[in-house]
Every structure is written in structure tokens, then in C-alpha cells.
A and B are shown apart, each in its own frame.
Chain A
Amino acid sequence: MKRLALFALLLLLAVLALYPMRGTGYGVRFMLQLFMWIALAQSWNLISGLTGYVSFGHIAFFGMGAYTAGILIVKLGWPWLWASLAGGVGAVVLALVIGWPCLRLKGPYFAIAMLGLNEVLRVAVSYFEGLTGGGSGLSLPALYASVPIYYAMGVVALAVTGLAYVIVTSRFGLRLMTIREDEVAAEAMGIDTFRYKLYAFLLSAVGPGIVGGLAARDQSYIEPISVFPLIMTITMIVMVLFGGKGTIWGPVLGAVLLFTLQEMIWARFIYLHQLLFGAIIITVVLLMPRGILGVLQQKYHLPRTI
């Protein structure tokens, strides 16, 4: 069974690796965005799904990565791949600066603090016009690189999912879960909860930072409202809740299902789109708070490590 799953996974990866040779331009761009959403949802899962510390401003790391990469490309002429990796570094530095004070806050207060962070960053970026172009945005030199960006996004999505696998199957991951389960008891059992939360938080910022940089390159134009939108944070959260928080494949499943739905159906009903989204949130929270994989886990006694 395990070998079969591994074989299927490798086959899927091979198909995805070959896809740009046969796929249409639209198809490649669709997949590229799907990879981005997998990386974002999986990253949110690392901090919020495992430790229970809900980050309501996780897109701030995406925006940080986008602006770091954008500025490096425009002002210093960096190649986009290096600039995007630097975006990941920028996001981690931001996570360290923000996490140090904010992770001492308990649950709901942390969520609000993160929400505030995103709003503050958006305003700050608008303010420093000389560097960021302010409210009128930052235009990157024209470049058609959908296929290389497709691969880069795919590698990030795979790497973040691999990271989730390593964490969830380790005692490090179990300790992160003890914070979600009962932080007081975790402390009493010798777990330095602050340090563990900080590690998870830093790891959860890398992916969004890098894909933020890649998205900036892909779109060739960034502005404060396009890279710090609250709706993107909400989308990642819904993807994770829908697929199954705290699992390895739940965020992937949630991203695939919701992003596909969004592209296939909702795009034709612009106004219904948000209504449907709201309906899904309510349905998930009320009827299956553990998400699809969570329900399957309980019903069929599957291991946590799926």
C-alpha cells in the first residue's frame, strides 16, 4: 500500500514535470497558480494547523517576499530566482521580528496581532514611495518566463509539503501539536513552547516569501493591495480547514479542490463566488471541523500521518 502510494506520487510528479511541454499557456498558468496555493496553504498549516496559533495575516509574508524580490529585480537587477529566494529570507526575518513579541500572546490575541501586521505592512509599503513605488506600484521589466516559474513554484510546493511530512512524522511535530492540545501541560512537560512556536512560525514564512517573489515576477507588476490582500489569507485558511488541518495532504487537497472550483465555475459567476466561499466556510466549520481528511481519518482509523 505504502509502495503503491509512493509509486503514484512519483508518477504524478513525472507527469507534472513533463506537462509544460504539451500543456497550453493557460494550463501552465493555471498549474503555476495552483502550486502557489498549495505552498501557501501548506505553510499556514505548519504554524496554525499544528500549533493552533491562527495566523490571520499570513499573506504579509507573501507580500514581503513580493516586494523584496520586486525591489531587488528592479533596483539591483537581480535574476528573478535569486530575488525570490531573497524574498523567502526577507519573510523569515519579518517572521522573527514579529514572532518574537507576538508568539508570547495567547491564541486570539495572536490572530489579531497578525491581522494588524498585514494592514500595517500594506500602509508602510505605500508610504516608502522611493523604494516601493508607493500606491502606484512597482513595474518589473517585461519577461516571459511562465515555464521556469511553473517549475520554481512546483518545487516550492513540493518542498513545503515535504517539510510538512518530515515535521508531522517527527517528535518535533508532536511537540508542536501539544501546544495546540494544551499549552500549559506542554510547558509543564518540559517543552519550551515559545521556542517551538517560533521555529514553526519561521518555517511557515519561508514558502510564502519565496512564492511571493515568484508571483511578483510572474505578474510583472505589484502594488500594495495586490500582494497584501486579506482575502488571500482567508483563502489559505479555508483551503486548509476544508482539506484537513494538521494533516500532510489536507492542505494540498483543499488547495486543489477549491482552486479548481474557483477557476472552473466561480469565475463565471463573479458575485456568487464570494457567497459560495462563505457558504463553504460555514459548512466546514459546522459540519466537518476536521476537514475532509480529518473525517476520513476518524471514520477509517487512518494514521495521523496522511
Chain B
Amino acid sequence: MKKIPVTVLTGFLGSGKTTLLNRILTENHGKRIAVIENEFGEIGIDHALVINADEEVFEMNNGCICCTVRGDLIRILGNLMKRRDKFDHILVETTGMADPGPVAQTFFVDEDLRELFVLDGIVTLVDAKHIQLHLEDSSECKEQIAFADVLILNKTDLVTEAELEALERRVSGMNSMARVLRARNADVPIPAVLDVGGFDLERAVAIKPAFLSPEYPFEWAGTFEVEEGRYELMLEDGPDPTMAFITMYLDGNELASSEGAAERALRLWSEQALALAPSSSFDIGADRPISLRLDAQDTKRFSACAPKAGRIGFYTQHLPAEFQLRLLRGLVVKTPLAEHEFAVGHSHDDQVTSVGLHLEGEIDGDRLSTWISGLLREKGTDIFRMKGILNLKGLSKRYVFQGVHMLFDGREDRPWGTSSRTNDLVFIGKNLDRAALTQGFKRCRV
């Protein structure tokens, strides 16, 4: 039997939930939709059933796993399934102050719901104008963003393009897995919210580039043409005591910002970095990141050697402008042919962030399981969601898994085919320690 998809709509009061709900109900003729909401709104649509829910959240202790679930959803959805007029889709609207965690966990924990329903996605509406205020003082607001599969920045007509871009960067930093849509009056394409496949691992895998792209650990990439010979790298005082970078030869007309090049740089980035003190030298195009020690006062100089002429990509952890970084050939400052800033998760001071990890090689299943269970035991309440695609030792297919807080499920997926056998893992949560997560993940390597 096909499972009935469930969409969860979250967002603060005034973010446009009711508008979106009404649009879904009026535009989806032919689909039978049941809406479970906290209070009866102004909705009276023939083919939709609107049910009042009381958001009864309770704690469940199942073995060693403790989680909160929505008791009213278990009861209501269980009863709905006894009806003859089955539904094509279920919409669950939560109050603005609700944490989406219990709703998501309900579909993991209750065996009846797990059998009959599938959580398609969590859609969070964000009032582009007023969100900044809520982000500062509300943990629920952050959680709603962190849990989302789709983030709709609504009421975009009330802010400037620059404000919108800043907001988009900020929410993407908090949740790199979500698809971000812009809307004026909740006018997004309906399939973008009703057919998300957010908890569908197949889909998480299919959209892998998006799943990864905002997750580069470098903020900037420049494309340069170099000749064989010596260069000099100069930096002034900046905000951080160290900065990592990578230099890499590019193919033909390739730009450093192109997806293929950035992916290669990302892989190199996971190698052990070489720490370099001022006045030392390094080779351009060496296969590892270099971490510059910048704690000395005044201008720091490093010498570089290009073993051959060609086009290179220069990827830096922070923006070069922050350190007035420049590459010199003799006395001439090289200008890049092209440069690109990446949206990164770790550049904001938000408590809620995404951490994306990429590893080459094979993962040991037992070590991974020990690491993840320990991590969830200690930090389960702070880790909102996670997804992973892994190359497990002894497995010919890819292993995909996902979790909500302490609950997770994983399984073998399809064969790797022609794609490269690597490991990607994304965490979204509060106070995540990127370094510790990276280290933990690396220890799982065979």
C-alpha cells in the first residue's frame, strides 16, 4: 500500500501559513487533503477536512531512547485511517511557537503511523521583514528553520534585495539542507511544498549537489594564470590567528568557482593541513591544504613556487579582503581572472548551524555506529537533523541514513554506479563543534 504523504507547515504568526494553506487547498482540486491545525481558521473547502488538534506533546521513553512526540497526531491520524474516504495528502499546521521536532519524531516512533504515512517534508515560512527580530530571541524560530526541508522567505516585497540576500545567506548557513524559495504572498509552486521528499533518502541522494553545494569550507575562490617560478603571498593583520587555503591547477578554461573544481578542492580540503609559519615557502598545486600562522603582528610573507605555468584555483577559508591577502609576482600584485564568494555555514554567529563533512575512502560500519550512538547520547537534543551517504566497507551499494534528534534509520541504497565512492554527512543543530565532528568522522575511516 502506498503511504500517505504528510507535510508539516511551520512558521511564526504572520509569516503567511494560512495564506499558503488556503492556496494549497484551492489549487489542488481533485486531491483529498486533510488539514490538522491548531485552531480552526477561515477555511471552508469542500474536498478538505479540517481537524482541530490540541498539540499534545508528551515524552516517550522507549528503551534507552527518550523523545517527545505528538499524542494528538497519533490518535487523529489513526482514526482517520479507519474511514472509507481515504486522503491523498495530510497537512499538519503547527502554532508559531511550536518546535517541529515532536511532529517529525512522531512519524519515526509510532509503528502505526510509520506503516501508513510518510513525512514528506517540513515547510517553514519566514517573514522576511520581521524574522531578524525573532531569530535573536526565539529558540523555536531557529528550530523551525533548522528542521525545514523547504524554507520560504515570504513577503520579499517588504525588504530590499540586499537584505534578502543577507537573510538567505544566514538561513542557508543555519540549514544547508533546505531548499530556499522566495515569495511575496506565499506564491510558491505547490509541488515545491507538497512533493518534497525531505525524508526520502532516495531523493536526498538524488539532489546531492544541492545537498552539498552551500557546504564548502572555503569562503572565496580566485582563478589565476601563473608562470613557472617564484611568487609571494602577503597578508596583513586580520580577524583570525590562522587561515587555511588550497591551490590547485585547473583544466584549460575551467574557473575555480565551477562545481567540478570546487568539488575537487573540497576533497583536498579534507586532507591533513600543513601548518606554515611566516617566511616559509610552499608549492602551488600541492595536494593538501595549508594553514597559515597569522598570529604575528604586521605583514606576514610566505613564498610560493609554481612548478609549471597554468591556470590555478586559489581557495581561502576566509575572504582575502579580511587580511588584505595578495599574491605577488615580483612587485606586481596578481589580479584574479575571476573570483567567487561561497555561502558558508560557519561564518555566522548563529548558534544553529549546519556542518557538512566530506571524506574520501571507506568507512568502518562498527566504528561509525559507535561514534554516532555516542554522539546522539551526548548531543542528541542539540542535533536536530542529519543525513548521510556513505561508502561502508564490505558494502557494494551506498549506505544512506537520516535522523531526527536521537532517532535515526539507515539502509543500503542503490549501487554506486559511475559516481565516486565517497562519504558525505550533514548535521544541523545547535552548538555544533565542526572540528570535533570532523575528527570523529575521520576516525571512522577504515
Asked whether A and B interact, the reply is no
Question: What residues of chain B have their CB less than 8 Å away from a CB belonging to chain A?
Answer: none
